[in-house]
Amino acid sequence: MEKLSVNKQKALSHALTSMVLWIALLSMFLYCLFVLMDVFPIPSQLQISWISIGICILCMFVLKQNRKIATFGLTSVLLLYTMCTQFGLGTVYYILGPEYVVNYSDYTLRFLFSPQYVQAVLIGLIAVMTYTIASILGTLGEESIKNRLTRNENNIFSIETQRAVWVGYLLLIIVLIYMLFQVATGRIRLGMDYNSYIQSMVDASNIYHYILIIYSVGIAYIVSSGNRKQIKYGLILYSCSAIIFFITGNKGEVLYAVLACIGASQYRGFKIKTSLILLLGFILGIFIPFITAARENGVLGSIDKIGFSLTDSFVEMGMQLRLNVYILEQFFSGSRDFLMGFSYFNPFINILDNFIPFISIRLDSPKDYNFQSVFPGYGFNQVAESYANGGLIGTILFFFLIGFTIAKLESRNMNLLTLAYFTSIVAILINVTRNSFAFVPGQIFLLTILYIVVKFLPKRNTK
């Protein structure tokens, strides 16, 4: 009876805490919405920076209270990375001071002083809160994590699960052979700077884009499906190619998939060890700032630039906010029209066009569609793209759909092959957090074909 009473008290406490967090989240959502609608006065840059920190912490606490998904699972890692890309730079600049962004020119940082800056941050806040709310709604009616962990691991020795692991090994071996071949032929020189690498590898070959896909898919399949020993060997194989990527100034090509794999390991119930926390601290505090500072002149020739910074990684990721500002400035000046969803449905039309013979169904692109030509070298992000398509409604719809879908799938009992497929898709979504949506449907299509092949390959005849 006493144990039952304690359990009831814990359940009541959890329910009350969840209710308070929900009220706070909905209140902040309405506040940001009313500011954008000019019902409430616009806060200052400093005020919106503190508000951003508060809302980000609130969103993570709301997800933590949800017992249907892991605290740092696939839903959460995508949200965390989106937060960093939206609020990393502005909060550092306005709260800590300009001396923390001295590596960037005044021209690059001009967006921080734009009349549309605060509105751009508010749209980002609406996006992450919508994602959080949708994530909670997506888990309604699903069972708790504890109830599915045992069943999840019971199929680790199934034929399709082991097949997934070996497919992961094969993909990583292909990537390593490709990268070593590029080194051997001189297209990759280990002392080359990052711009030379882009010209030699990215701009000169379409194959490279597929190499990046199978690189992230390979490690996703191993971490999602393998046992601890298999995962260890997979990480060693993954690291061999990662060394070449890092030496040539590349980071996201390696780290996007790693972030997704952390989410997958949490889904499987693996505990976060102290060594992983220290590694993440090293990556954020030393490694990413060093690669960023050194890659302009070549990483191997810039070892003297190794240092420590608690802010540089967040500043670099947060640079994506400037695209929100630029999009708003174009709407404000009247030089841009809403795309009405074109950049999201056009990639699907293009896929269909490639499979329907003798008939062309490609659509004429609006003048503002090609974000790479409009914002050359700036990258992009999904807050800006969703707003460019449908304004605030477009942003809310996009992030609601993504949050609901990811959380709904994560809260279900997936077998390990399905988890591998899902993790590889999340890796793509993490990547698109700092890119345009155009490549996503095609990549998911390829991942789906791979998943079907692995799942439905004939099993060995044991008779």
The CA-atom distances, in angstroms, between 211 and each of 27, 182, 450, 451 are 45, 12, 14, 17
Mean pLDDT of residues grouped by 10 in the chain (463 residues)?
A: 64 81 93 93 94 94 85 91 90 90 85 94 96 92 66 65 91 93 85 78 77 92 91 92 86 86 88 77 76 71 70 84 93 89 87 72 74 78 93 96 94 88 93 88 92 80 43
Assign 3-state DSSP to the chain and report helix, strand, coil percentages, each to 5.
75, 0, 25
Asked whether the beta carbons of 123 and 327 are under 8 A apart, the reply is no
Asked whether the beta carbons of 234 and 227 are under 8 A apart, the reply is no
Structure tokens at 338: 């809403």
pLDDT at 462: 41
Asked whether the beta carbons of 60 and 76 are under 8 A apart, the reply is yes
pLDDT at 461: 47
Distance CA(182)–CA(352), nearest Å, equals 34
pLDDT at 463: 40
Structure tokens at 410: 């994560």
Give the predicted TM-score (pTM) of the model: 0.90
Comparing CA positions, the residue from 386, 335, 336 lying closest to residue 120 is 386
Structure tokens at 386: 């969703």
Asked whether the beta carbons of 437 and 382 are under 8 A apart, the reply is yes
pLDDT at 55: 95
Distance CA(25)–CA(29), nearest Å, equals 6
| 315: Cα separation from own chain's centroid | 16
- In which element (H, E) is residue 240 found? helix 228-247
